[in-house]
Amino acid sequence: MRTVRIPEDWPATEEQARAVQDELRERVILDEPGPPPGTGHVTGVDVAYDDERDVVAAAAVVLDGASLDVVAEATAVGRVSFPYVPGLLAFRELPTVLAALDALPCPPGLVVCDGYGLAHPRRFGLASHLGVLTGLPTIGVAKSPFTFAYDDPDTPRGSTSALLAGSEEVGRALRTRDGVKPVFVSVGHRVTLANACAHTLALTPEYRLPETTRRADALCRTALRETYSA
């Protein structure tokens, strides 16, 4: 497990953070298809917080895209690097997430974030931010639609509907289990929306949430507990 320091040049104010978003948003690549679903490595990242101690733990879990077996995993723990501000949550998490990814012994391939990419008020959520900083293909798979509107997809697994900001499609509601509440998929970086949905279906053979998210969630919670159990 790595212990992470907040970078010296990390934004300290909302104004600084929004300026970083404005600068980096221009670097998001939307015209690459991304890796084929069911191939290569697929990595889930997630975080867990200890609010009383102002600490965040991040986990990165690499799965084989075909078998969904765990290939590698890594964790990092650090101080929360930014106050809680809706729309700027990536600044709270990214230093530890980047450290966990950096600690992996193998290339992560596609990275799946428990959150948003373009489905973000400023069109630059965690998945987009992480993708631009690392150059990796990234997608966001969220549990809720955030502030966006959608029609309920049809009942069968694989059904989708547009996730809308006005008339703009910023992602899709995707049914990963028959009759179960959908997840909300958005592009992060270097992946198309159709391919992001296909990856999400490949990662949900049994449960509503992707295996990447389920495994990273469990690992970061364990890392947080173990940090203070000794």
**Residues flagged as binding site for Mg(2+):** 46, 114
At which residue do the structure tokens 């364990």 appear?
222
Buried b / exposed e along 164-190 (16+ C-beta atoms within 10 A): bbeeebbbbbbbbbeeeebbbbbbbbb
Within its chain, how far is the Cα of 65 from the centroid? Answer: 17
- Other C-beta atoms lying within 10 Å of the C-beta of residue 116: 33
Residues paired with 78 in a beta bridge: 4, 56
The Cα–Cα gap between 213 and 219 comes to 10
* Nearest residue to 120 via CA among 64, 173, 186, 76: 186
At which residue do the structure tokens 């069109």 appear?
123
Question: Which residues does the annotation place in the binding site?
Answer: 46, 114
Where is 23: in which H helix or E strand?
A: helix 14-25
The Cα–Cα gap between 22 and 87 comes to 13
* Nearest residue to 119 via CA among 45, 178, 172, 175: 172
